[in-house]
Structure 1
Amino acid sequence: MEIYMLSKKKSIVLIVLLGCLVMGFIDAVIRPGYLMKSFIKITLFSAIPIIYSKYNKDLNLISLFKVDSKKEIFISIFSGILIFTIIFGAYLGIGKFFDFSNVVSSLSKNAGVTINNFIFVAVYISFINSLLEEFFFRGFAFLKLKEVTSRKFSYIFSSLAFALYHVAMMIGWFDIGLFLLTILGLFIGGLIFNYFNEKYKNIYVTWLIHMFANFAINYIGFILFRI
């Protein structure tokens, strides 16, 4: 039994690390068009965990989407509005101390995001990408990992993977100070999201919160792109 549990833990960890490394290589080196990159990410972050769950019949991924009460929805919407306010407020408050001039050029050069497709990208990031990342990092890499290993390891691994995954895509966006601050913010955000996942035993609540966080980031993007 112990050997099986260890094997399952290693399998989940390896799948998460592989997904992050492949996407990091694609973001930093290959740099395909945004549509192709999104297709690859959907395959890595959803199809592979689902295929693995077919192999391990006791890995119930459907339970990640179960909502027990309307209270969860109200909490997630309230928390989402709060997160939106914090992120946009932070931009207004500290924006003058950091240089955001490289963000637009880096997005266009490295990620294929331009003024022409930014609205499409913003919609995709807000609704689909947020769900994809919650499923992969919070559902698969936290809730399901926590079933076969320690709570502490699951919290740290999931949050660290979530933060470091974003490194490749943000290369060249900011100066080193803001870059490190952003990575720290992503790690802390991952810990907070994991708390909600653990409390409500699903990813629905954090998906809505993540969605509102992306609303704020995309709104800042509209400002930077001068749309």
Structure 2
Amino acid sequence: MKKLMVLVVVACLIMAWVELFFVPDYIVKSFIKLIIFLLLPFIYIRYFTKLSFKDLFSLKVKNLKVSSILAVGVFIIILSAYFSVGGFFDLSNITVMLEENIGVSKSNFLFVAIYIALVNSLLEEFFFRGFAFLALLKLSTRRLAYLFSAGMFSIYHIAMMTDWFSIWLFLLILVSLFVAGLLFNWLDEKTDSILPSWLVHVSANISINLIGIMLFELI
């Protein structure tokens, strides 16, 4: 249990270092993240346990009903929040930080948005829900698994969002990420699969990417 938790923390620290000090462009950062979020779980499975991850991708249509409803709800809530209160916050700095820090610009944002919505979301669900939650759930208490996975999921995003928002909006987003992590854990615990949370995660990313498209004035 401790080894698993340490590996999760190490992975998040490595990605924080990449975000804050190495600061590569988005393609390089995505490649590093792909290696770290797949390699460390593999090391744990190979040398410390006999846990299998093949069931994490099991698909049962009946188990996706709640997730589908939540996915639609999250999509509507995020866009509604942007249109209703977005004007009270200065979001102009987001596109500047994306261009200056990781090379995401108006010209390549659509490609990045598709990658984030489908591939990056699946990678995060595998790591934070499949590894940091479902695998940990078999080795620890339910309370610890829930809090650790959701906590690391929200903390992980701190480095990538530095200087993007005002402090109050930043804190609001962190709390929202923690709550989202708890919700994702609950969905996956019911099915022992990461697909329910991935569906909601994809929906959330699509709505956020639509906001990004508007900020980049692509529509």
What is aligned with 1:12? 4
Q: CA RMSD in A?
A: 1.1
What is aligned with 2:206? 215
1:40-81: CA deviation from partner (whole Å, max 9, x where unpaired): 0000111221232122452111121122x3112333222211
CA contact 1:141–1:158 (8 Å) conserved in 2: yes
What is aligned with 2:100? 109
Distance 1:55 1:112 in 2: 37
What is aligned with 2:84? 93
Tell me by how many angstroms 1:141 deviates: 0.2
Tell me by how many angstroms 1:109 deviates: 1.4
What is aligned with 1:3? none
1:108-161: CA deviation from partner (whole Å, max 9, x where unpaired): 112221111111110110000000000000110001001111111111110010
What is aligned with 1:66? 58
Tell me by how many angstroms 1:22 deviates: 0.5
Distance 1:86 1:111 in 2: 28
CA contact 2:25–2:101 (8 Å) conserved in 1: no
Distance 2:104 2:19 in 1: 12
Distance 1:201 1:221 in 2: 33
Which amino acid is the alignment partner of residue 181 of structure 1?
L
Give the alignment's TM-score, normalised by structure 2. 0.96
Consecutive unaligned residues of structure 2, counting only runs of 5 or more, are: none
CA contact 1:110–1:169 (8 Å) conserved in 2: no
Distance 2:58 2:135 in 1: 14
Equivalences, count: 218
What is aligned with 1:150? 141
SS at match of 1:174: coil
Which amino acid is the alignment partner of residue 27 of structure 1?
E
Distance 1:164 1:36 in 2: 22
Distance 2:65 2:144 in 1: 30
- Choose from 53, 58, 66 the match for 2:45: 53
1:6-45: CA deviation from partner (whole Å, max 9, x where unpaired): xxx1111111101101101111111101111000000011
CA contact 1:83–1:213 (8 Å) conserved in 2: yes
Of all paired residues, the percent bearing the same amino acid is: 44
What is aligned with 2:215? 224
- Choose from 121, 136, 147 the match for 1:130: 121
Which amino acid is the alignment partner of residue 158 of structure 1?
S
Which amino acid is the alignment partner of residue 127 of structure 1?
L
What is aligned with 1:6? none
2:162 is equivalent to residue 180 of structure 1: no
1:142-181: CA deviation from partner (whole Å, max 9, x where unpaired): 0100111111111111001000100010011111010000
Tell me by how many angstroms 1:101 deviates: 1.3
Give the alignment's TM-score, normalised by structure 1. 0.93
Distance 1:31 1:72 in 2: 40
Distance 2:17 2:48 in 1: 28
2:38 is equivalent to residue 38 of structure 1: no
Which amino acid is the alignment partner of residue 205 of structure 2?
N
1:191-224: CA deviation from partner (whole Å, max 9, x where unpaired): 1111101111110111111000000000000000
CA contact 1:28–1:110 (8 Å) conserved in 2: no
User: Bigger shift: 36-45 or 91-100?
Assistant: 91-100
- Choose from 68, 85, 94 the match for 1:77: 68
CA contact 1:19–1:45 (8 Å) conserved in 2: yes
Please identify runs of 4+ aligned residues in structure 1 that moved more than 6 A. none
CA contact 1:84–1:216 (8 Å) conserved in 2: yes
